[in-house]
Amino acid sequence: MPDMDGFKATKSIRELEKERGLNTRTPIIALTASVVDDDIQTCFDVGMDDYMAKPFKIEQLKTKIEKAINLPVKTATKESTPPESNAKKVVTQTQEAPSRSERVLLVEDNIVNQKVASVLLQKAGFEYEIAENGQIAVEMFQRDNSFDIILMDCMMPVMDGFQATKEIRPMSKMKAT
């Protein structure tokens, strides 16, 4: 399997959204250490909706997610029950966290960043799943396109966030049909 970074993973996700004929798309937010203008522009060029520079604070993450979720309302349904994969599924059940119905796909290869983002998402009351790279994110989205938002790292092995966004974007446009 060829390497896929965040750019490639995004591209793949967007292509899958398009292939499925969805007329809304899943928001994808790049999580990147780079704040170089060219990299930021590439995020948008491949179909990402926004970006966040790492490290970030919980309020910044919450604001970005809430902004992204206010995009066109989705009426997506699961196409089939996804088989078990090496992706991590986490359903938050904490009493102090507010109850939220939004589902988040966190695409991050760094274990420490996964844990930090998981804590932030859990405190915000979100249900979330983790994909370790863009290729896994694309595969997860192919099986289950009911995610409300995707937090996408840009620089990952296997498939980067830019490519993953390009592949997911077309798939998310078909969600509401």
Q: What is the pTM of this model?
A: 0.50
According to CATH, the topology of domain 6-74+86-158+168-172 is Rossmann fold (3.40.50)
177 residues of the chain, pLDDT tens digit each: 246 778 888 888 888 888 888 777 788 888 888 777 787 888 888 888 888 888 888 788 888 888 887 744 333 333 333 444 445 544 444 334 445 578 999 999 998 888 888 888 888 888 999 999 999 999 999 998 889 889 999 889 899 888 999 999 888 766 655
Please list the helix, strand and coil fractions of the chain in percent, rounded to the nearest 5, in that order.
Answer: 40, 15, 45
The full set of domain ranges for the chain reads 6-74+86-158+168-172
Distance CA 130, CA 118 (A): 9
38 Cβ contact list (under 8 Å, min separation 6):
none
